[in-house]
Structure 1
Amino acid sequence: MSERDTIRAFLAVELPASVRQTIARLQRQLQRELPHADMLRWVNPDIAHITLKFLGETPVAEIGRVSDAVEAVARRHAPFTTSLGSLGVFPHIQRPRVLWVEATDENGAFRRLARDIETTMQALGFQPAQEKRYIPHITLARVRQRIRRHEQAAIGETIGDLEVALDMQWRVETITFMRSVLTPQGPHYTPLSTHALQPPTETEEA
């Protein structure tokens, strides 16, 4: 690979094994309870994550600069606690294309981190995020293209009515700069660098 090549990349929060196991159980529940579940492509829970910023095609020559910038962002944010919340869809409940479960953000730490990432990456020349408002979430499944409109609406209606009890809390402590390779079997992710969020110093706390 030469410096003129590009890679598909994104920035994410990886999940502990216990959270991935809970995600797998939730997917099995949804496969039983959702109508037209065969029209959904389920995400492999082993690679489930929370995206902070999709970078897209990234020049190999820029990998070091991106990694340094992410390290600087990580040093500005302390670790924080999140948990699994409610179910949701993109873009609309009547026309769902993506099914997800929320990562809660009660004190706004997730959104502050994502906003800092967004501003920093735009300064490096990356495109702005398409979404106007960042929602921390874990993608569970994607709706297949050939689905009929009434089937799509039925999935959204059921998601809107479904209540799930997910007693799972964990600490967000790192940001991962990840390479994504798309294959017929699904995406393959390779960490390029990992950056630890920094606890506030005594001076900052004072």
Structure 2
Amino acid sequence: MRRILTGTPASFALLVGAVLIAHGLMAPAPPPQPTPDQGFAAADKATLAPPAAPTAAGLAPLAVLAPAAPTRVRIPAIGVDAPLTGLSLESNGQLAAPPETDRNLAGWYRAGTAPGSIGTAILAGHVDTHQGPAVFYGLGALKRGDVIEVGRADHLDAVFTVDAVEAYPATDFPDRRVYAAAARPELRLITCGAGFDQKHQRYLGNVVVFAHMTGNHPG
């Protein structure tokens, strides 16, 4: 079955949401992000907490990384170790999905922030395919404090710590909360979830993992 995403205009400039129509595809499609000074009220920036100190042994002091393409995502708590492919927007404005032929493949929104640089980086992946559970099947089991490592083309791993895991219905996806520009390196992981409609064979929304960078180390 062809998975389809239908974008809907958000209530503020340059951000869009999505309604999931089928089972197994992830994610609303974010546009290229503005910097923290473009298009967002001062109150949005004021709510951003300062970067946390590194929590894991062996991490370098926290430093913002220059942009570099991410190549791999590792999430030890749920056994994820997967390559990343670049995702772009299709002609209809929807986010293209990773190929379903490889269930252990996630994608990153390459028109947005690179993981480890200032801003909100987006990774997305299937929760399942017709062949079974896929790369982000276990996202909902993550907890605050769990670690996500993103390998990069510059041979550095950006290390992120999970702040929250939330599920949202497709009819009320909080574009602003998920996609807003950040004053520090942040990460969002997105997949399908929030319940499943057996009658129409589709997920009812999305699971979103919120994380911020807490260090880096050689990859």
When normalised by structure 2's length, the TM-score is: 0.25
Question: RCO (CA 8 Å, sep 6+): is it higher in 1 or 2?
Answer: 1
Higher helix share: 1
Larger Rg: 1
